[in-house]
Amino acid sequence: MTSTAAPPTATSRTAEPRPQGDRRFGLPVATCLVMGNIIGGGIFLLPASVAPFGTISLVAFAVLTLGAVALALVFGRLAQRHPQTGGPYVYARAAFGDFAGFLAAWSYWITTWVSNAALAVAAVGYLGVLFPAVGAHKWSMCLAALTVQWLPALANLAGTRYVGAVQLVGTVLKFAPLLLVAVGGLLFFDPANLGPFRATDQTAIGAVSASAAILLFSYLGVESAAVSAGEVRDPARNVGRATILGTVGAATVYLLGTLAVFGLVAHDTLVSSQAPFTDAVNAMFGGTWGGTAVACAAVVSMVGALNGWTLLSAQTPYAAAKDGLFPKVFETKQRGVPVVGVLVTVVLASALTVYNYTAGSEGVFEVLVLVTTFTATVPYLLSTAAQLYFLLSGQSERVHRGRLVRDGVLAALAFAFSMWLVAGSGYAAVYQGVLFLFAGVAVYAVMAARRRRATVQPAE
């Protein structure tokens, strides 16, 4: 499709006007944003989820880590040439025009607000451990889920300085108990608890692929710094660093944490565990206080993830709105935050949350969550394809000749990793996700028509 406006140039570094007193994120906060968004609440269930496959699941983790790091490196390279807010949207539009950019923005936006609803609902289960009254009735659970969503939204509306502060504190509080198990647990490690290397009748490749299907989405969020590049100081330098540091940090916690739990909890117990980290802490120190500690860590983890994802949910529509591909109202910014994007996102997530509790149809909600695992990979595929396009089309201003081969290999690996994510989401999720994308085509048609009228009318 022919673009109705020239794509942004790769060398454009024009900064947006910043409100007085507004602060951009430095490297530490940007790194925490990546780590906090990658590690939500799933880490607290992952060891039990993959235990039925045996310790071969650690091999799948290692393979996925390599793919995630390759994707992080590609985002870092792209951010050096396109240090604007929007991340995958910016890269896709620069390479393939408005329509591809819109698809990246649309699919990423769907991912964020549906995922926010899922995180809030999941957090309620851990809140019920701390405050039993929360789980007493579906309406108390619904109110708790809405509260968990709106508190990070209010922090975002207060300005980027508060978003950064909440993200930094939340990441520190989150990682303290995780590192306790990931590092301290190795001191209590008992190889006898590991169980069989391959616990199923599948072949080694089949077992790795099956466990990878569960683990595939553990690394969603590697693009966090790239999406918020406009809010990062010296984005051409810091976005790539934050992306790589955040991804490697999250991968380290994932791998060490899962390995420690495997060595602390007997395999037969771990397979049926509903709270593997709780069992691990109890095995380390005895007693039953581990449940409370893990519940606190899980709530902090999810609120921190919601804080970061709420910011990301507004950044991509903001970037698209500036180019006329989303409604102009999404362009509204206050204190460095796209306030309309934050409000619309939290309202949609809240509506989905209320629907989940009132309809009582867990199947519908689970399908929507699975859809997000597909929609999240669309921007990844478009971004890695954009990098391949820049490398192969001879655009010297967009590539570094001395690193051409290395960047090409990384882009190819990241593209393959993104395709693996799509395959792992399952047929039903891909089917539903495509329907979501096609719904966006109608929105694009309306926005493109408006842009066309705006450019033609003055000449008439």
What is the spatial distance between Cα 184 and Cα 181, in angstroms, rounded to a whole number? 5
**All residues at 6 or more sequence positions from 25 whose CB lies less than 8 Å from its CB, including other chains:** 33, 160, 164, 228, 231, 232, 233
Residue 295 has pLDDT above 70, yes or no: yes
- Kindly report which listed range (17-21, 238-242, 447-451) carries the lowest average pLDDT score: 17-21
Structural tokens at position 359: 């309809």
Which has more pLDDT, 379 or 427? 379
Greater confidence (149 vs 29) lies with 149
Q: Give mean pLDDT, residues 258-286.
A: 83
Q: Are 369 and 433 in contact (CB under 8 A)?
A: no
Residues 6 or more apart from 91 whose CB is under 8 A from it?
78, 82, 104, 382, 383, 386, 387
- Among candidate residues 71, 430, 49, the one with its CA nearest the CA of residue 214: 49
Helix, strand, coil percent content, the chain, rounded in steps of 5: 80, 0, 20
The larger pLDDT score, comparing residue 135 to residue 141, is at 141
pLDDT of 276 reads 83
Residue 137 has pLDDT above 60, yes or no: yes
> What percent of the chain lies above the pLDDT cut of 90?
9
Dihedral sign for Cα atoms in the order 176, 179, 184, 185: positive
What is the model's pTM? Answer: 0.78
Helix (H, G, I), strand (E, B) or coil at 372: helix
Q: Whole-angstrom Cα distance, residue 78 to residue 44?
A: 32
Which residues, 6 or more positions from 411, have their beta carbon under 8 angstroms from its beta carbon? 74, 384, 387, 388, 391
Q: What is the 3-state secondary structure (H, E, C) of 317-335?
A: HHHHHHCCCCCHHHHCCEC
Mean pLDDT (the chain, rounded):
80
Which run of H or of E encompasses 228?
A: none
- Torsion angle of C-alpha atoms 48, 174, 30, 238, degrees rounded to 10: -70
pLDDT digits (tens, 9 = 90+) for 194-235: 888 888 888 888 788 777 777 776 777 888 888 878 778 888
Question: What's the confidence (pLDDT) of residue 402?
Answer: 62
pLDDT given at position 204 = 84
**Which range, of 23-27, 100-104, 151-155, 373-377, averages the lowest pLDDT?**
23-27
Q: What is the pLDDT of residue 398?
A: 58
Burial 129-160 (b: 16+ CB within 10 A, else e): beeeebeeeeebbbebbbebbbebbebbbebb
Confidence of residue 346 (pLDDT cuts 50, 70, 90): very high
Torsion of the alpha carbons at 194, 200, 204 and 210, rounded to the nearest 10: -100
Query: For the segment 390-443, what is each residue's pLDDT rounded down to a tens digit?
Result: 888 876 555 566 677 788 888 888 898 888 878 777 787 788 888 888 889 998
Of 3-12, 49-58, 323-332, 387-396, where does mean pLDDT reach its minimum?
3-12
Quickly list DSSP for 393-441.
TT-GGGS-GGGHHHHHHHHHHHHHHHHHHHHHT-HHHHHHHHHHHHHHH
pLDDT tens track for 10-49: 333 344 444 444 456 788 888 888 887 787 766 777 788 8
Q: Which residue has the higher pLDDT, 80 or 162?
A: 80
Give the per-residue pLDDT at 103: 93
